[in-house]
Structure 1
Amino acid sequence: MSPEPVRRRLLVVEDDPVINQALSDRLVAEGYDVVRAWDGPGAVAVFGEQAPDLVVLDVMLPGYDGHEVCRRIQAERPVPVIMLTARAEEADVLVGLGVGADDYVTKPFRMRELVARISALLRRVERAGELAGRRPLELGELRIDQAGRRVWRAGEELHLTPTEFDLLACLAAEPGAVVGRDRLMAQVWGWPGATGTRTVDSHVKGLRAKIGADLVRTVHGVGYALDVEAVR
């Protein structure tokens, strides 16, 4: 008899009671355990008490906003975070990436799309167990531990979100080779056939801010490459 699949616990943080309830009901129907919060302080408290596997987090919250909530929970324990926002300006997205968000969904959103993004993000995090036997990848002063999902440059550990780590690992698998945006969307986000230029570009900016702008080379109109000359 096969073991029961592990039920992942999600924290939904949304101050609009209608959206909070609808989203929670849909996620329960999808097979997740769901815990909820309606404001910033409550979100941090529930996170500490319930140890969720992923957080769906509204940006505009009473108490303190979603960016502050994200910063606080990531300081406590790294966790995948999807932010819900009424605005998707690049500056807002970069602020979210800077405090540890992995993905952004703009309101109004389709439930099906949000569920698909949650599933894809959880799958990416679970890949760590599949890489347990791999040796760390050494590229000059850059060291990537795929099993532990840790990165160092020149001996200093860099703290990446799950998406940033997967983006770097994808580029590092073929150092110097150009990886197109469509391929990054398929391999990193798990959305084959999707067009996500803005999503990819925003996350590359966040990655560059942490590992150094010199390491990721832009090939305009195509994609990105890990600059092997820069990491020597």
Structure 2
Amino acid sequence: MREGILRQLQADLKASFETPKCRKCGCLRDVLIAMQQATDHLMGEDADALRTDIASFLNGLEITEYACLGCDPCPPAIAENHIFEMAGGVIRLPMVRPSPCAFTPRPVGQWPVVAGEYRVLDRQGTIAVSTLASADLPGKLAELRPKGLAIVGKLETENIGVDKVVKNVVTNPYLQILIVAGQESKGHQSGQALLALMENGVDEQQRIIGARGKRPFLRNVTPKE
């Protein structure tokens, strides 16, 4: 069983490394560091080969240009999710804090307070809609202009994406309803993360409790928000 898990991990990480945009992304760097730490205690030729590959991949990364692009699918997230599902007690994964990815809210009185890929229809509307990875859906809904719709936009990441949703929702006193619709973002599982946040909140590390994405840390909102 262990040998199969390590082979799968090796293949997943290789596929991620061979994706050009991944070599510039904080997602892959974080996953490689996590795997390096998690396999440090393993003995055997298969583990040695995996560690050699991980070291080679880390050395081959380019300068990080972005913490996370919110890609769908996200090769590093798929690799990490796969290992979480298969590993059991074979690989003990450490908690990896994501690369910093902050935003600066707009001045008081301006809403939405955080810039993003969304459409604003009525700043006094009572409904916000998140379309997850369905990038075409916001435009279609905006064209229909349903009554009460304040804002509609996509949500592809389980960290900064959720940060932005929370910040924009809690700073508008008119909003009463948040509708989550559309195609789930594979790997990141941002929709599931948003629902888990509503049901469970966050822990002391600002990690969304029960979120299945592997970097569901909120770094731009406060526990009160």
Could you say which TM-score interval applies, normalised by the shorter chain?
Answer: 0.3 to 0.5
Give the TM-score, by structure 1 length. Answer: 0.34
- Say which structure is richer in strand: 1
Point out which structure has higher relative CO (alpha carbons under 8 A, 6+ apart): 2
Give the TM-score, by structure 2 length. Answer: 0.35
Query: Which has the larger Rg?
Result: 2
